Amino acid sequence: MLRKPETLFVLGYMLLPLLALLSAIVGLTMILGGNKIAGIIVLVVVTQMFAFGAFFALRARKSALLEEPDRQ
């Protein structure tokens, strides 16, 4: 299922970037709310995890599309 280009498209372009944006908002509100250490951890670890996940999903989509040239 995770090798299908359609699934990787949804993960790479929609779901993971949206989760990265939401976790960045949560991290910033935590920092502004006074919980600085946990907010920095959310910003650095969780947001970057979602961002790099989207990057790798897009790379996997590209390789999946190159493996099946006759499929559209």
- Tell the residue number behind the tokens 């670890």, with chain if given: 45
Amino acid at 24: A
| Secondary structure element (H or E) that encloses residue 45, with its range | none
Q: Pick the residue with more confidence: 32 or 65? A: 32
- What's the predicted TM-score (pTM) here? 0.83
Question: Quick one: tokens of 42?
Answer: 């959310």
Counted residue by residue, the chain has a size of 72
Is the Cα dihedral 3, 7, 13, 14 positive or negative? negative
For the stretch 8-24, pLDDT in tens is: 999 999 999 999 999 99
